[in-house]
Amino acid sequence: MPVLASFIDRIFNRQSPSRSTAKDRLRLVLLHDRTDIPSLMLEQMRQDMIAVLSKYVEIDQDALEVNLEKEDGSVALIANIPIRKVREKRVDDAVVQAEAPAAADLST
């Protein structure tokens, strides 16, 4: 990638899907280190939250952030979920699955 294009991407915070996936995986590893919850379970929790919320609202999955914070012996789940629009009515699971991008392969 040319230097100028790379610079512009950094300015406008454009990320390739593989970079975004790598960033999400690193975030999960860091969360696992801060808590005693396995990283696979954290990813499953994230996917479950996306599935449930997507029935009612259209969310920006690329900007979604899920963090666990450990303080005074307790753990708090903090989610920042950008909503693109509220759905007029609840949609079925099949519609949500059709809209969702393919889940990342966690085995690698």
pLDDT tens digits, residue range 29-63?
665 566 677 778 888 888 899 999 999 999 998 88
Residue 68 phi/psi, 5-degree rounding, is -115, 130
Helix and strand tally (H, E) in the chain?
Answer: 4, 4
How much is the pTM? 0.54
pLDDT of residue 106 exceeding 50 = no
pLDDT at 57: 93
Q: What is the pLDDT of residues 59-97, one digit of tens each?
A: 998 888 888 777 787 778 888 999 999 999 988 877 777
Short-list 25, 23, 20, 22, CA closest to 39: 25
Enumerate the H helices of the chain as residue ranges.
3-11, 17-34, 39-53, 93-99
Structural domains in the chain (count): 1
**Residue 103 within a domain:** no
Task: List the domain range (segments joined by +) for residue 64.
Answer: 3-98
Which has more pLDDT, 74 or 106?
74
Query: Residue 105 domain-assigned?
Result: no
Q: What is the pLDDT of residue 82?
A: 93
